C-alpha cells in the first residue's frame, strides 16, 4: 500500500482548512442571503448558529477525520459499520452538486477580474446604458445579466474547472497549501480598505442600520425561512456537512489542538463575511438600492462594479478584488473536489490524476446548464445547502454524539489533554441542541425547497 499523504508543514492543515472555508460563501453568498433574510435579523441568527452549531460541528468532523485517517465514506464505514457508508455517499453527492454551480459563479469572478484590465468599470457600465434605459434597470444589473449566462459564463466555468482539476491532480502537498498564504491576508486587507471607503459614502448610515440593527419582529415573523437559511449558510460557509473537514483532518499526522484550530478557522471565515457586509450594504443604499434582497446572485457584482466605477483607480481595485475572490474560490473548489477524489482513490484504488479528472469532468458537465439559465443555480444551490448539507451534518452528529461519543472525546483530547467536564459538555451539546436545530432546519428546508 502507498503511504498516505500528510500535510507538508505544521500550518498546512490550518491554511488549507481556512482556504476551504473562505470562499464564495463569504463574499458572494453571504451578502445576498443576508439581503433575502432582511438584513440584521438574518445576521444575528447566522452568527448565533456559527458559534453554537458550527463550532461543535466542525470539531465532530475533525475528530472523525483524524481518528480514521480516511475519506468520508471510509471513515463512516470504519466508525459506524456497513450502513453508514451510505451516509458518506451523501457527502460525495453534496460535493458534486455544490462544486457544479460553485465553478460557474467563480467563473463570473474571473470574468469581472479581466474587465479590470480592459479599462475602467465606468466605461464598461456605459456600454450597457442603452439596454438599461430601455429596460428601466440599473446598468450594473444589466451588465451582470449579460455576463452571467451564455458563452462568457460557459467559457469561464470551463477554465475554472480545468484549474481546479489541475491542482487536485497534483496532490495535497504541492497543490493546496500554496495559494492560501497569500490569499487570505490579501482579502482581509482589500475588504478593510473598501469598508473604510464605504464608510464615506452618502447613505452609509442607512446601509449600516439595515445590516446591523436587527428588528426582533422580523425574526419572530419569519423564523420558518430564517432558520433553515441561516443554518444552511453557516454550514456552507464553514465547509461543513460534506466531509471536507473530515478529509482534511485525515491528513493530519500529528496531534494538534483541534479546538484552537476550529476557533481560528471560524474566526477568519466569520470575520471575512462580516467585513463583506460592511462594504456591500453601504454601497447598495448609496446607489439607491433599498431592497438588497432583490439583488440575488448578482448582488455582489452589481454593488461592486458600481463602487469601482465611481472611485479613482477603481479598475485596479476591481481587478485586485475580483481576482482575489477568484483565488479564494479556487482554494474552496479544490477542497470540494479533493473529497470526491480522495474517496475514489481510497476506496476504488484509482490513481489520483485519473480520479480528479473523471470526477471533475462529471461535475463540470453538471454545471453547464447553470451557464445557460440561472434557474439551475437556484435549484442546485437550494438543494445543496437547504437539504443535503444539513442532512449530512445531522447524520454525522447522530453517529458521533450517540454511537461513538467516548472515542470522539478521546480523540479530541489528543493534543489538548484531559478535557474533564468540557468533553461531556461538547457531546451533550451535539446530542440535543445541535441535533434539534438541524432536524428543524432540515424539515423547514425541505418544505421550503419543495415549494
Ligand atoms: N466554504 C466555502 C465557501 O464559503 C464553500 C464550501 C462549501 C467549500 C462546502 C467546501 C465545502 O465558499
Ligand atoms: Na466560507
Mean pLDDT of the chain: 91
> What is the distance between the alpha carbons of residues 317 and 322, in angstroms, rounded to a whole number?
9
Q: Assess whether pLDDT exceeds 80 at residue 175.
A: no
Could you tell me if 330 and 113 are in contact, meaning their C-beta atoms sit under 8 angstroms apart? no
Is residue 24 lining ligand 1, measured as CB closer than 6 Å? Answer: yes
The pLDDT of residue 173? 57
Is residue 243 lining ligand 1, measured as CB closer than 6 Å? Answer: no
Neighbours of 383 (CB within 10 A): 17
Nearest to 389 by CA among 29, 117, 57, 107: 57
Nearest to 103 by CA among 285, 326, 347: 326
Q: Assess whether pLDDT exceeds 90 at residue 360.
A: yes
Q: Assess whether pLDDT exceeds 50 at residue 36.
A: yes
Taking the CA of residue 330 as centre, how many other CA atoms within 13 Å lie in the half-sphere pointing to its CB?
A: 28
pTM, whole model, 2 decimals? 0.94
Nearest to 415 by CA among 172, 247, 249, 239: 249
The pLDDT of residue 350? 94
Percent of the chain as helix, strand, coil, to the nearest 5: 85, 0, 15
Reported as a single tens digit per residue, the pLDDT across 50-72 is 999 999 999 999 999 999 998 89
The pLDDT of residue 451? 80
Q: Which residues surround ligand 2, an ion (CB under 5 A)?
A: 21, 25-26, 237, 269
> What is the distance between the alpha carbons of residues 59 and 429, in angstroms, rounded to a whole number?
12
Instruction: Give the list of residues 6+ apart from residue 287 with CB closer than 8 angstroms, or none.
Output: 138, 140, 303, 306
Average pLDDT over residues 90-118: 95
**3-state secondary structure at position 7:** coil
238 Cα to the center of ligand 2, angstroms: 5
Q: Ligand 1, atom 10: nearest CA belongs to which residue?
A: 239
Is residue 297 lining ligand 1, measured as CB closer than 6 Å? Answer: no
Average pLDDT over residues 190-210: 92
- ipTM comes to 0.99
Could you tell me if 35 and 293 are in contact, meaning their C-beta atoms sit under 8 angstroms apart? yes
Give the number of the ligand closest to the Cα of residue 385: 1
Is residue 94 lining ligand 1, measured as CB closer than 6 Å? Answer: no
The pLDDT of residue 396? 96
Closest atom of ligand 1 to CA, residue 389: 9
Q: List alpha helices for 118-170, DSSP H.
A: 121-126, 129-135, 139-148, 151-170
Is residue 237 lining ligand 1, measured as CB closer than 6 Å? Answer: yes
Greatest pairwise CA separation for the chain in angstroms:
68
Average pLDDT over residues 183-212: 91
Nearest to 64 by CA among 77, 51, 80, 75: 75
Q: Assess whether pLDDT exceeds 70 at residue 178.
A: no
**3-state secondary structure at position 45:** helix
The pLDDT of residue 148? 96
Angle at 310 between CA 306 and CA 316, to 5 degrees: 90
Q: Ligand 1, atom 11: nearest CA belongs to which residue?
A: 239
Q: Which of 17, 18, 19, 20 to mutate to test the pocket of ligand 1 (most atoms within 8 A of CB)?
A: 20
The residue count for the chain: 451
Average pLDDT over residues 246-255: 84
Is residue 395 lining ligand 1, measured as CB closer than 6 Å? Answer: no
- What is the number of H-type helices and E-type strands within the chain? 24, 0
Q: Ligand 1, atom 6: nearest CA belongs to which residue?
A: 239
Is residue 331 lining ligand 1, measured as CB closer than 6 Å? Answer: no
Q: Which three cell numbers stand for residue 86?
A: 451510505
Average pLDDT over residues 277-292: 87
The confidence band for 395, taking pLDDT boundaries of 50, 70 and 90, is: very high
The pLDDT of residue 22? 94
Q: Assess whether pLDDT exceeds 60 at residue 2.
A: no
Q: Which three cell numbers stand for residue 438?
A: 438541524
Q: DSSP for 309-331, please give it.
A: HHSTTHHHHHHHHHHHHHHHHHH
Neighbours of 137 (CB within 10 A): 14
The confidence band for 81, taking pLDDT boundaries of 50, 70 and 90, is: very high
266 Cα to the center of ligand 1, angstroms: 12
More confident residue, 153 or 71: 153
Share of the chain above pLDDT 90, in %: 69
26 Cα to the center of ligand 1, angstroms: 9
Q: Which of 93, 270, 335 to mutate to test the pocket of ligand 1 (most atoms within 8 A of CB)?
A: 335
Reported as a single tens digit per residue, the pLDDT across 305-351 is 988 898 878 888 889 889 989 988 998 999 999 999 988 998 899 99
More confident residue, 293 or 372: 372
**3-state secondary structure at position 213:** coil
The confidence band for 176, taking pLDDT boundaries of 50, 70 and 90, is: low
The pLDDT of residue 1? 38
Nearest to 334 by CA among 12, 103, 108, 26: 103
Average pLDDT over residues 258-272: 96
20 Cα to the center of ligand 2, angstroms: 7
Chain Cα centroid distance, residue 6: 24
Q: List alpha helices for 373-450, DSSP H.
A: 375-383, 389-398, 405-413, 421-429, 435-450
The confidence band for 252, taking pLDDT boundaries of 50, 70 and 90, is: confident
Q: Which domains does the chain have, with CATH numbers?
A: 12-450 (1.20.1740.10)
Angle at 202 between CA 196 and CA 207, to 5 degrees: 70
Which H helix or E strand runs over 218?
A: helix 216-237
The pLDDT of residue 446? 92
Instruction: Give the list of residues 6+ apart from residue 448 with CB closer than 8 angstroms, or none.
Output: 224, 225, 228, 382, 386
230 Cα to the center of ligand 1, angstroms: 15
Amino acid at each position: 500500500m502507498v503511504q498516505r499523504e500528510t500535510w507538508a508543514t505544521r500550518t498546512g492543515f490550518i491554511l488549507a482548512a481556512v482556504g476551504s472555508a473562505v470562499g464564495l460563501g463569504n463574499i458572494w453568498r453571504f451578502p445576498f442571503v443576508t439581503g433575502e433574510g432582511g438584513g440584521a435579523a438574518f445576521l444575528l441568527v447566522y452568527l448565533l448558529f456559527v458559534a453554537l452549531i458550527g463550532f461543535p460541528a466542525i470539531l465532530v468532523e475533525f475528530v472523525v477525520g483524524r481518528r480514521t485517517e480516511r475519506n468520508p465514506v471510509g471513515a463512516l464505514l470504519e466508525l459506524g459499520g456497513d450502513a453508514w457508508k451510505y451516509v458518506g455517499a451523501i457527502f460525495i453527492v453534496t460535493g458534486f452538486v455544490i462544486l457544479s454551480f460553485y465553478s460557474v459563479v467563480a467563473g463570473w469572478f474571473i470574468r469581472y477580474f479581466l474587465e479590470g484590465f480592459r479599462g475602467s468599470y465606468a466605461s464598461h457600465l456605459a456600454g450597457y446604458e442603452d439596454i438599461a434605459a430601455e429596460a428601466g434597470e440599473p446598468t450594473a444589473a444589466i451588465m451582470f445579466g449579460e455576463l452571467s449566462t451564455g458563452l462568457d459564463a460557459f467559457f469561464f466555468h470551463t477554465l475554472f474547472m480545468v484549474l481546479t482539476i489541475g491542482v487536485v491532480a497534483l496532490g495535497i502537498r504541492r497543490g493546496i497549501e500554496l495559494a492560501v498564504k497569500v490569499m487570505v491576508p490579501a482579502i482581509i486587507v482589500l475588504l478593510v480598505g473598501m469598508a473604510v471607503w464605504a464608510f464615506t459614502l452618502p447613505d452609509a448610515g442607512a446601509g449600516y442600520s439595515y445590516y446591523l440593527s436587527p428588528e426582533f419582529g422580523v425574526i419572530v415573523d419569519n423564523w420558518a425561512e430564517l432558520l433553515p437559511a441561516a443554518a444552511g449558510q453557516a454550514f456552507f460557509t464553514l465547509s461543513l456537512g460534506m466531509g471536507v473537514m473530515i478529509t482534511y483532518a485525515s491528513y493530519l499526522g500529528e496531534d494538534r489542538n483541534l479546538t484552537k484550530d476550529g476557533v481560528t478557522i471560524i474566526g477568519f471565515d466569520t470575520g471575512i463575511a462580516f467585513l463583506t457586509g460592511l462594504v456591500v450594504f453601504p454601497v447598495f443604499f448609496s446607489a439607491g438600492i433599498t431592497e438588497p434582497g432583490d439583488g440575488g446572485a448578482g448582488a455582489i457584482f452589481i454593488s461592486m462594479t458600481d463602487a469601482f466605477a465611481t472611485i479613482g483607480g477603481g479598475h485596479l481595485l476591481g481587478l485586485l478584488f475580483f481576482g482575489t475572490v477568484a483565488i479564494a474560490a479556487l482554494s474552496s473548489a479544490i477542497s470540494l473536489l479533493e473529497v470526491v477524489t480522495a474517496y475514489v482513490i481510497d476506496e476504488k484504488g484509482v490513481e489520483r490524476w485519473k480520479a480528479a479528472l473523471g470526477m471533475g469532468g462529471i461535475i463540470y458537465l453538471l454545471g453547464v446548464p447553470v451557464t445557460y439559465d440561472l434557474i439551475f443555480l437556484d435549484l442546485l444551490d437550494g438543494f445543496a445547502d437547504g437539504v443535503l448539507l444539513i442532512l449530512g451534518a445531522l447524520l454525522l452528529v447522530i453517529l458521533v454524539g450517540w454511537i461513538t461519543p467516548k472515542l470522539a472525546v478521546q480523540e479530541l483530547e489528543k493534543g489538548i489533554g484531559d478535557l474533564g467536564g468540557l468533553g461531556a459538555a461538547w457531546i451533550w451539546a451535539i446530542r440535543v441542541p445541535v441535533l434539534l436545530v438541524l432536524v428543524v432546519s432540515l424539515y423547514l428546508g425541505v418544505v421550503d425547497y419543495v415549494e
